[in-house]
Amino acid sequence: MIHDAQSARVRRGAIASAALLVVFLAAWQWGPGLLGIPSFIVPPLSSVAAEFVRAWNIYHLPMHTGVTVALQIAPKVAFAPLFILWMGFTVYPKILVAILIVFFPVMVNVLTAVRNVDPDLINLARAFKASRAQIFWRIEFPSSMPPMFAGLRIGSTLAVVGVVVGELVGGNLGLGYLLTFGEGQANTPMVFVSIVMLTLVGGIAYVAVILIERRVLHYLPARGVAGNL
C-alpha cells in the first residue's frame, strides 16, 4: 500500500514536471511575440532549434561540444591570461588553472573530514597497535570519501563556468568560442544554442560524478550519497 502511494506520487510529480516543461516551451515559442519582444533579444524556440540544426551541420557543433567535454577546463579570470602569456595558446595554461579551481574545493572538504574524524576511533586503533598508515587507510581515508565527492560535484559545476572563461580569453574551439562567435555576428539563436549545450555539459558532468559516487560509496544510504537523484 505504501509502495503504491509512493509510486502514485512519483507519477504525479513526473506528469507535473512534463506539463511544466510543455508550458515553458510554449511560452518560449509564442511569449516573446505576444509581448512584443524583438527576436534578436529573445528568439523563439523554433529559431533556436533551426540554429541548432544549422550549427550541427555547418559549424561542427559536435566537435566544439567534444572539445569542451574532453578538456573540462576551469580557468579563473585572473590566472588564465597570465598562464597564456607564459605558455602561449596551448592546453597547458587551461590545465593549470583547472587544477587551481577544482583542487581547492575538494582539498578543503577532505581536510575538514579528516580533522573531524572521531578521535575515539583513532585512539582505539592505536590501542590495537595500528600504524599511522593503517589509521589513514582504514579510518581517515574512508571518512574523507563522501566530502571528496561533494567537492567534486562543486568542481563539476565550476568547470563549465571555467570553460566559457577560458575559451573567451584565448580559445578558437569549443562552446565558449561559438558563444563569442554568435555574439560577434549578432546571432542570438547561436548564443542560445551555446548556452543550452553548456547547460547540458554541466548537467552531464554533475550526474557523472554522482553516478561514480554511488558506485564507489555503495555502502552508504542513497540519500547520503546523492540525495534523491
pLDDT tens by residue, 77-107: 566 666 666 777 766 666 666 677 777 777 7
Which pLDDT tens digit goes with each residue over 109-151? 777 777 778 888 888 888 888 888 888 888 888 888 888 888 8
Closest CA to 65 of 173, 170, 153, 184: 173
- Residues 89, 178 within the same domain: yes
Computed on alpha carbons and rounded to an integer, the radius of gyration of the chain in Å comes to 23
Half-sphere exposure of 172 (CA within 13 A, CB side): 2
Q: Which three cell numbers stand for residue 198?
A: 553548456
- Residues 61, 165 within the same domain: yes
- Residues 142, 201 within the same domain: yes
Q: Which three cell numbers stand for residue 67?
A: 572539445
pLDDT mean over 65-73: 58
- Residues 25, 51 within the same domain: no
CATH number at residue 83: 1.10.3720
Place of cell 595500528: 130
Q: Which three cell numbers stand for residue 216?
A: 564507489
- Residues 57, 24 within the same domain: no
Domain span including residue 30: 1-37
The pTM (predicted TM-score) of the whole model is 0.61
Which pLDDT tens digit goes with each residue over 163-208? 677 667 666 677 777 888 887 788 888 888 888 888 888 888 889 8
- Residues 106, 190 within the same domain: yes
Report CA-CA distances (Å) from 213 to 19, 77, 148, 199, 203: 31, 30, 10, 21, 15
- What is the DSSP code (8-state) at residue 165? H
- Rounded to 5 degrees, φ, ψ at 187 are -100, 85
pLDDT value at position 82? 65
